[in-house]
Amino acid sequence: MGTRDRFSTVFPGVASKTIEDVLFAGIDVRVERVNDVSGGLVLEAVSTGRPGRCPDCRKRAERVHSTHQRSLDERPLGPRRVTIRLRVRRFFCDRPSCSRRTFVEQVGGLTERYRRSSIGMTGWLWSIAVELGGRPAARLCRKLRMAAGRTRLLKLLTSPPVPDRAPRVLGVDEFAFRKGCTYGTVLVDVEASRVVDVLPDRTSETFAAWLKDHPGAEIICRDRASAYTKAVKEAASDALEVADRWHLLQNLSAAVEKTCHQHRDCLRKHAEQETATNVPESTPMLLPPAELPGTQIVERTHHRYEDIHRLVEKGWTISAIARRLNLDRKTVRRFRDTDLDQLLASARDRRPNGVLEPFKAYLNARFTETQGQASGTRLFLEIRERGYRGSRQVVRKHLAALRAGTAAPVRADIPSPRKITSWIMRPRDTLTDSQEERLLGVRLACPDITRACDLARAFAELVRHQRGFLLMQWIRQAEQDAPKPMQSFAGSLRQDLDAVTAGLTLPCSSSAVEGHVNRVKTLKRAMYGRASFELLRTRILTQP
């Protein structure tokens, strides 16, 4: 049976074409035999092209030395694996000055030196390795009937060369190899949205050395990290630094939230006064006085505060305390610099409000009216008519706590600092009527929060409309009569004035950098922490 007949038998739908037209279009090979072996196809082929050129001197060969057979993996055809047994020629190099005596021909579009797969197959494997890495790529290859292990796939990945000069607009940001422990730096061409290089740490020395070796950056977009500022001033003093606008709003949001935390007592006092004013005299709440019962988070806050301050008094550093207590350094710093009362207030505020919380005031009033004789089932039916969706057992537990005198007093309904901050930082036209009303109540309760709100909204307008020429005026206003967190934020802007002004003036930002940082996180997590820095860097730099 001939090759055409054999191919027609295996693939009857392509009988009008030769196998060379289907599998090797434009490639100088001739298929001599097709064998169907245990679910796979073995193609025996011969090279038919012109004599090749010497890889050293580039002289075209004239004499054949010998022939031998290569085995190549080809892309699968449906469920069948394809193997090519290709007979190629070895030629003499007849140029006396060339050190090479013989060489093997390479078939254009099909073979490469030292490769066990065709060029098309190698391209497929490379794409799979770029997207999935080692083990996941190997599992996919097995399903696609392609023979490739993780080691072979990873060897296909090579780092592209880093340009000698830095891009005109360079973005820099950090990413975590292990959060809280080790970090790296990613450098991005902001205009092309392409990763330029990856550094093994986030120190100013490493970044400064890179800038010296790769000059040419005119604009450097960064966050508020001081290490990168130091490197830019040292190695690229002529470059214009641009502080990222998103990070500016994030720092402002943190200052506003800290202000709201510091003035929780103002909000609670105002809410309690309004509640007392609105309660009718006929329904007084004559509950026995009871202290707020201790919860697990309150007790943990007490113990953690004592442990951290005991170690601070002994002269321990923040890093040493964090390692000793298995905490984050930011947590240790917050417990060191914050009063215990404020920490406890924050811990109590974090207690979850159950489905019964909105109905506790009504239950307490009804309990007082009936002098403790109210039926739990009756009260359950009453609050269910008013919208309660919880269980009867929760109501009974609350009534039992009222009878025992251990029930926590009904707290004034005040919004959390984070919720207040979200209302302040969002554009006004996106707030609902109820949110506007509650924010107005917060502003009436505390003048400091009102001032922080006005300053935050004014700065947000500067950022959104890029009015950098008004920055100094805003800083002077904030430093005069703003709450302390807002004053600290204004002071940080003054220290980084040129970069912040550029960020509020120029259209450049670190948005492209943040996108690539998210991609780095995806790659890092997909590799489960087993990859070396070089392999991770290769995958980051390799664009599919």
Please tell me which of 17-21, 83-87, 369-373 the model is most confident about, judged by mean pLDDT: 83-87
Instruction: For residue 33, report the phi and psi dihedrals to the nearest 5 degrees.
Output: -155, 145
Domains, the chain: 3-116 (no CATH), 122-155 (no CATH), 169-244+509-541 (3.30.420.10), 246-255+415-503 (no CATH), 282-404 (no CATH)
Q: How far apart are CA 390 and CA 298, in angstroms?
A: 26
Hunting for tokens 């703003």 — which residue is that? 482
Please give the C-alpha separations between residue 447 and each of 260, 450, 530, in angstroms, as whole numbers: 11, 5, 54
Determine what percent of the chain is predicted with pLDDT higher than 90: 28
Q: What pLDDT band is residue 475 in, cutting at 50, 70 and 90? A: very high
- Per-residue pLDDT for 407 more than 70? no
Residue 477: CB partners within 8 Å, gap ≥ 6? 455, 458
pLDDT (tens digit per residue) in 248-294:
999 999 999 999 988 888 887 777 666 555 544 434 444 433 344 45
- Per-residue pLDDT for 405 more than 80? no
3-state helix, strand, coil in the chain (%, to 5): 50, 15, 35
Q: What pLDDT band is residue 413 in, cutting at 50, 70 and 90? A: low
Quick one: which of 256, 254, 252, 261 has its CA closest to 343?
261
**What is 359-390 written as a DSSP string?**
GHHHHHHHHHHTTT---HHHHHHHHHHTT--S
Q: What pLDDT band is residue 484 in, cutting at 50, 70 and 90? A: very high
Q: How far apart are CA 379 and CA 398, in angstroms?
A: 11
- Per-residue pLDDT for 352 more than 80? no
- CA angle 343–346–349, rounded 5-degree value: 150
250: three-class secondary structure by DSSP = helix
pLDDT (tens digit per residue) in 140-159:
988 888 888 888 888 888 88
| Mean pLDDT computed over 190-198 | 92
Q: pLDDT value at position 291?
A: 42
| Mean pLDDT computed over 96-122 | 88
> Do 170 and 189 contact (CB within 8 A), yes or no?
yes
Q: What's the one-letter identity of residue 507?
A: P
Please give the C-alpha separations between residue 299 and each of 221, 235, 302, in angstroms, as whole numbers: 44, 51, 5
- Per-residue pLDDT for 129 more than 90? no
Q: pLDDT value at position 408?
A: 62
Q: pLDDT value at position 288?
A: 39
Q: What's the one-letter identity of residue 197?
A: D
Determine what percent of the chain is predicted with pLDDT higher than 70: 88
- Per-residue pLDDT for 18 more than 80? no
| Mean pLDDT computed over 399-412 | 70
pLDDT (tens digit per residue) in 452-472:
999 999 999 999 999 999 999
Q: How far apart are CA 216 and CA 239, in angstroms?
A: 9
Q: pLDDT value at position 461?
A: 93
Q: pLDDT value at position 340?
A: 85
Q: What pLDDT band is residue 166 in, cutting at 50, 70 and 90? A: very high
Residue 233: CB partners within 8 Å, gap ≥ 6? none
Q: pLDDT value at position 451?
A: 94
Q: What's the one-letter identity of residue 365?
A: A
| Beta bridge mates, 90 | 66, 104
Q: pLDDT value at position 137?
A: 87
Burial of 434 (0-12, 13-18, 19+ CB in 10 A): exposed
Q: What is the mean pLDDT of the chain?
A: 83
> Do 319 and 330 contact (CB within 8 A), yes or no?
no
- Per-residue pLDDT for 21 more than 60? yes
Tokens of 349: 């505020």
